[in-house]
Chain A
Amino acid sequence: MNYDMWQDLWVRQPVPLPPPEEGRLLREIQAESEKEDDGRRQFLNAALCSAAIFAVLSLYPLIRHGFELQDWFPFLLWGSWAGIGLVFRQRRRTLDRGYGESLLDRIDHAQAILRESQRYAVWNMIVPVLVTVVMVAHFAAEITEGQSILAPVLAGGLVLLLPLLALPWERKRRDKLRQRMAELQEMRAQLSSGAEAK
């Protein structure tokens, strides 16, 4: 039996799936999509609530005793994070336009997204450190003889606490990313067997 005969057998094979119960299938699919949308909505709500709380906490000193330079540090922090978010959002859009639709392109695209997300995570950690350095430097310059340096150090420590608290979660996330990268690498190698893609 040669390959053509196997191919003939393949092409002639009956497809035993009953005509798909499309209504049911579509309902299930839509239910799953809705579940995902709900998850996304909940995440967005939580993010908006935290942003509102942080905004109120940041604005409170301003309202209480008027403008003072140190009151702007929280804004510097949140502003930098938002800025980085916007820059990476733009980079992601450019990235999405740069790949084709074949299986290899999809794998390459997924790898590029993972690399970009690693970069994003690094920048998210760098920002609070930079803001803390600026803040501590500012306070240190203001300190006159007899004043304690404890306050700026504590304030800096509090800002640094944010990324430190996120460290275990970040480590888990990075492990997952590495695992996913390795899987994609393996998929690519399996699919192309070392050949050059188009």
Chain B
Amino acid sequence: MNPGRELEARFHAWLREHRGIFYKIARAHASSAAEQEELFHDMALQLWRSLPAFREQCRPVTWIYRVCLNTALEWRRGQRRRRLANEAELERVEQMISTEPRPGWTQEESELLARLYAAIQTLPDGERTIVVLSLEGLSYREIGEITGLTENHIGVVLSRTRGKLAASLQEVRNEL
């Protein structure tokens, strides 16, 4: 197989296998569906561009997390420059209201998940990055590999962030 075809095949396989990562990171960083699609596209583009640089020094999934998170952080900078703050707030509210049940899920579960995403979106970038990786079930060591932070620091941030999330989600539980 020629190198171009090989890259293409790897890209297809990664995208198919790990689209959940793309989706969750896009939803954690972008409010509206259109923005999520745009960010998904940007992450896929970056993954394609970065494929030749992948030297198999880490697991593909670690590489994908790095590329996606880096793209999402950059994308948010760009968004902040492009959009007015009140527009972003408006879309966030719209997104919070839009809690259509997903197939196989109860209305309550869909609503809880939407609230979880909304709570995550209120976190600063650093905390958001770490909490998304933690929710994905990654260990401190794996989060450290992706972000470059020490395990000790990750533990401190995560404990603080869990507290914040618990507080904001407790209100949600009371509301429901």
Interface residues of A (CB under 8 A from B): 1-3, 6-7, 9-11, 13-17, 19-20, 22, 25-26, 28-29, 32-33, 100-106, 183, 187, 190-193, 195-198
Contacts and interface: CB of A to CB of B under 8 A. Distances in A.
A32 B116 CA distance: 34
B contact patch SS: helix
A9 B148 contact: no
Top-6 shortest CB links A-B:
A102-B148, A104-B148, A195-B153, A10-B135, A191-B126, A190-B125
Contacts of B63: 101
18 contacts: A3-B166, A9-B112, A9-B116, A15-B19, A15-B20, A20-B16, A22-B15, A25-B44, A26-B48, A33-B48, A101-B66, A102-B66, A102-B148, A103-B73, A103-B147, A190-B125, A191-B126, A191-B129
B148 A16 contact: no
A10 B149 contact: no
A69 to B, nearest CB: 48
B137 to A, nearest CB: 6
A6 B169 contact: yes
A178 to B, nearest CB: 15
Interface residues of B, number: 56
Given A32-B45, A195-B153, A11 B136 contact: yes
A28 B102 CA distance: 29
B104 A14 contact: yes
B135 A6 contact: yes
Contact of B113 (A13, A101, A103): A13
B8 A197 contact: no
Given A11-B135, A191-B126, A196 B73 contact: no
B129 A11 contact: no
Given A10-B136, A102-B66, A103-B66, A195 B15 contact: no
Nearest to A103: B147
A194 B90 CA distance: 32
Contacts of B48: 26, 29, 33
